[in-house]
Amino acid sequence: MKKLLRLSSLLVTAVLLAFSSQKSYATHMQGGDMTYACIAPNTFVVTMKLYSDCSGVTPPSSASLNAKSTGCNPGRNIPMTKIGATRIGDPYCPSIPKTCASNQLVNYQEVVFKATVTFSATEAQCADWIFSWSECCRPSTANLNGQGTLYLEAYVKLFTPNLPGATPTNIVHNNSSPEFNNLNIPIPFVCYNQEVRYSMNALEFDGDSVSYELDSSMESATLPATYNPIGSGPNGTIINPAPQPPFNTIPPGQPGSNPQIAIFGGGVTTNYSPTYPLSSYNVTWTQGQQVVFAQPYFFLDPQTGEIAFRPSEYYPNTASNLGKNKYAVVVKIKEWRKINGVMVNVGYIRRDIMFIIEDCGGNTPPVTDPRPVPPIFGTVIGDTVYKVQTCTSTRITVDFKDQNANDSVTVFFNPGAGSTLPNGSFQVFDNGTSKTRAVINITPLPSDIGRVFLIPVRLEDNSCPLKGVSNEVIKIEVISNNRVDILDTVQTICLGESLPITANLMRPDSILGDTASYRYQWEAAPGLNPADQKKKNIVVTPTQDTWYRVTVRNASLNGCFDYDSILVKVNPIPVINDIKVAYGPNKENKQHIVYGRSAQINVNLSKVDTGFTYSWSPGRDLSDSTVMNPIASPLKTTKYTLTVKSADGQCKATKSVDVIVGPFFLPNVITPNGDKLNDVFEYVGIQPNTSLKIFSRWGVLIKEYSSYDNSFGGEGVSDGTYYYIMQEPNGGKSYKGWFEIVRD
């Protein structure tokens, strides 16, 4: 897109002055909407969002909601609470201050109110309720007469009485209305003489069907606004802003003028209306032809809620309070719920929108540019509509582009946009660059045939001062697929197990609907009972990896068949015969590890497979917890559990073993008095054949043993403190310390 910042500084100043001159001196209520959420039976939280003109009066700080059931209950007023601070609009580029004042650029501010409405038992006897709010006044607009009251309403049906075939006869709905994406503000700035796409971005969370229709602006529940006569441009014509030679852009009536002109064709009405609320025409400019026809063009897609038009009138340098470039548009969004085969309108909401037409200085909004989809997967219709087939994974890539390849495009979307797609996802890549794109993955099932999935997106470029904005909806329709998917591709079992296999016709209706009759033929294979070869469901017991192939034929249509196959992989089942601990020698001659020593764990399997994996738990104090025979070095008795798994982890066996750790003790006092308690210097938990040297406190060797046998009882020495050195054999551990001899 052409950035206005690329204009000369003088021209930029002129543009800003033109924007700032459009200030309003009148009133303020530009638009709004009202939604509701059922939080409990007959209890609703109603949310109202109001949008006021920054150059008007201060938005209200309080509001009163009216709830009424016409013909059943006179209703009542409920105070509404303002939620959060007033939010200032952000339609301009970052270099333009985000302000809200009468002497600044045209802007809006948002204020939000909420109220909780609980219907009493008497009120709950009335089925149909209208929530409403109104306040004077709207700004002046080009399509509405005067500056009437802004009236907002939402409808909720508490129950459907006397529904045929229903039990009970009154069906309670507990309905919540659709909600609007916070990025989609109903005060869009749109470019004169450029294609506009504006989506409602309404999100429906109850699973109801939603339809969209244009509706009249209202001043009260029963008073529609009066629409002005249609402005038709100079002398009822449209001048081509980019004519081809020999035509030029010199205004009519001036010397050298030779414009290319479009005149209005059939279908033009004299007044604006709810279905044609602003001047918008489609013109096909023909080279070499000076006069062509223009046709009215203002379209709302009733299924997606996307509005498409091309503003054909713009009045430069006019004050905002005159409303010459403002148009009020109302869209009603209805919810439909199928109950006992009957489609019931369970509620609706209305959105009051204020379109503001601006001269964007040649800048055009971003557009979607879909990449082709292979015909075997789906088709692309226009820019945003896709038809995809069932039982096939389809990838859709949408580029978001600008006419100027260097301009960046930022996409705003609902973070959960991909969650509604069957087996699908929605991701945006390189957002905020000139290469922004979205990738959509979807794998619809047969049950999705006929369903339509909508992904609203908001596109913004980085033009300045006014950003180019486009609100669009990517629409995905699911159609039937003439290909039958039968089986999964790979299954794994353990040796000795059986596997049931089903020739599952994912798309039987793609051949002959519900009346189709099918024949099955399985190829002979090990593990398949020959008597089962013509069955839909089989059970196989292979002893090795085996392919099973089936052909499915339609019994009524020759040549209509499909086939598929499945690989059944067979994994050996590990069998742990025994686990033993290789305890070393110890003085006590017991089955335990000498404290501080190690022992190898030895595992005996019926069969060792190279694909087996091993896992010991706990893994601490093991040389390697992932090998078959680790070395254990615990400091206390520990139970280790081994899990042996096949290569794919499907088959496993477990067994445990206790690794026992012996005690450790060296005395620091002996009492050789004959009571058989501590009479000798006795150690525990040290290897046999350990040498011992005993020294006096002055370092004199008084006793020496090459293989100490726990027999020293202080013979030949007096009471006192003595020191020792113990050395295990073969360069083992040494121990140094002291002990006392006490005989009394």
Tens digits of residue pLDDT in 566-576: 899 888 888 89
Amino acid 558: pLDDT: 54
Task: Identify the CA nearest to 335 among candidates 454, 206, 210, 212.
Answer: 210
Number of H helices, E strands in the chain: 2, 48
- Give residue 165's pLDDT: 60
End position of a domain, from candidates 659, 694, 722: 659
pLDDT (mean) for 132-154: 92
pLDDT at 449 (0 to 100): 77
Mean pLDDT of 80-94: 87
How large a percentage of the chain has pLDDT more than 90?
37
Asked if 618 and 724 sit in the same domain, the reply is no
Rounded-to-integer distance, Cα 364 and Cα 372, Å: 24
Structure tokens at 295: 């046709």
From first CA to last CA, the distance across the chain in angstroms is: 106
Confirm whether 626 is domain-assigned. yes
- Which helix (H) or strand (E) element contains residue 628? none
Pairing between β-strand 669-670 and β-strand 734-741 as defined by DSSP bridges:
parallel
Q: Is 704 domain-assigned?
A: yes
Whether the Cβ atoms of residue 586 and residue 594 lie closer than 8 Å to each other: yes
Identify the CATH number of the domain in which residue 727 sits: 2.60.40
Q: Is the pLDDT of residue 51 over 80?
A: yes
The single-letter code of the amino acid at 514 is D
Q: How distant, in Å, are the alpha carbons of 694, 703, 706, 735 from that of 738?
A: 9, 14, 19, 10
Chain-wide mean pLDDT for the chain? 83
Q: What pLDDT score was predicted for residue 21?
A: 39
> What are the tens digits of pLDDT across the range 332-344?
999 999 887 889 9
Q: Are 464 and 599 part of one and the same domain?
A: no
Residue 485 inside a domain? The answer is no
Question: Can you read off the two tokens belonging to residue 560?
Answer: 């209509």
Report yes or no on 246 lying in a domain: no
Instruction: Tell me, yes or no, whether 243 lies in a domain.
Output: no
Q: Do 712 and 680 lie in a common domain?
A: yes
Q: What is the mean pLDDT of residues 187-199?
A: 85
Same domain, 335 and 389: no
CB atoms within 10 A of CB 421: 19
Listed residues 659, 688, 723: the one ending a domain? 659
Backbone angles phi and psi of 11, in degrees to 5: -70, -40
Q: What is the 3-state secondary structure (H, E, C) of 125-152?
A: HCCEEEEEEEECCCCCCCCECCCCCEEE
62 and 159 assigned to the same domain: yes
What is residue 222's predicted lDDT score, i.e. its pLDDT? 93
Task: Give Cβ neighbours of residue 168 (< 8 Å, ≥ 6 apart).
Answer: none
Answer yes or no: is 260 within a domain: no
| Domain-embedded: residue 158 | yes
**Looking at the DSSP assignment, which residues form a beta bridge with residue 725?**
693, 736
Q: Which residue segment(s) compose the domain that 514 sits in?
A: 490-565
**HSE-up of residue 289 (Cα within 13 Å, Cβ side):** 10
Q: For residues 727 and 737, what is the distance between their CA atoms, to the nearest angstrom?
A: 12
pLDDT at 420 over 60: yes
Specify the 3-state DSSP secondary structure of 446.
helix
- Domain co-membership, 41 together with 149: yes
Tell me how far CA of residue 706 lies from CA of 216, 624, 688, 723, in angstroms.
112, 37, 11, 17
The reply to whether 58 and 206 lie within a common domain is yes
Q: What is the CATH number of the domain that holds 619?
A: 2.60.40.10
The 3-state DSSP class for residue 236 equals helix
- % pLDDT > 70, the chain: 87
Which is nearest to 127 in space by CA: 84, 165, 169, 170? 170
**Within this chain, do residues 210 and 353 fall inside the same structural domain, yes or no?**
yes
Q: Are 740 and 671 in contact (CB under 8 A)?
A: no
Is 503 in the same domain as 473? Answer: no
The owner of tokens 């609100």 is 471
pLDDT of residue 200: 81
Which own/partner contact pairs does 97-104 have at CB distance under 8 Å and 24+ positions apart? 99/54, 100/54, 101/54, 101/55, 102/23, 102/24, 102/25, 102/54, 102/55, 103/20, 103/23, 104/20, 104/23, 104/54, 104/55
What is the band of 608 on the pLDDT scale with cuts at 50, 70, 90?
confident
**How far apart are alpha carbons 260 and 250 in whole angstroms?**
10
Amino acid code (one letter) for 6: R
| Residue range 719-730: mean pLDDT, rounded | 92
Q: 535 is written with which tokens?
A: 């069955």
Residue 272 lies in a domain: no
- Work out how many domains the chain is built from and give that number: 5
CB atoms within 10 A of CB 484: 22
Q: How confident is the model at residue 144 (pLDDT cuts 50, 70, 90)?
A: very high
pLDDT digits (tens, 9 = 90+) for 262-290: 887 655 567 899 999 998 888 888 888 98
State the DSSP string of 682-714.
Answer: --BSS-SS-EEEEE-TTS-EEEEESS--S----
Amino acid at site 533: Q
| 596, 726: one domain | no
Tell me the whole-structure pTM to 2 decimals: 0.58
How far is it, in rounded angstroms, from Cα 440 to Cα 394?
8
Instruction: With a cut of 50, say whether residue 316 has pLDDT above it.
Output: yes
Cis, peptide link before residue 465, omega less than 30° from 0: yes
Tell me the pLDDT tens digit for each residue of 374-399.
Answer: 765 667 776 678 888 765 678 889 99
What pLDDT sits at residue 5? Answer: 28
pLDDT in tens, 673-703: 888 888 889 888 778 889 999 999 999 999 9
Residues 494 and 589 in one domain: no
Q: What is the mean pLDDT of residues 517-534?
A: 90
Residue labelled with tokens 């509620």:
347
Amino acid identity, position 498: S
Category of 442 on φ-ψ map: left (φ > 0), alpha (ψ -120 to 50) or beta? beta
| Domain boundary residue, one of 614, 640, 659 | 659
In the predicted structure, residue 2 carries a pLDDT above the cut 50: no
User: Which residue bears the tokens 């602006």?
Assistant: 217
Please check whether residues 607 and 723 belong to one and the same domain.
Answer: no
pLDDT at 560 over 50: no
d(CA 684, CA 463): 86
Per the CB < 8 A criterion, the answer to whether 630 and 601 are in contact is yes
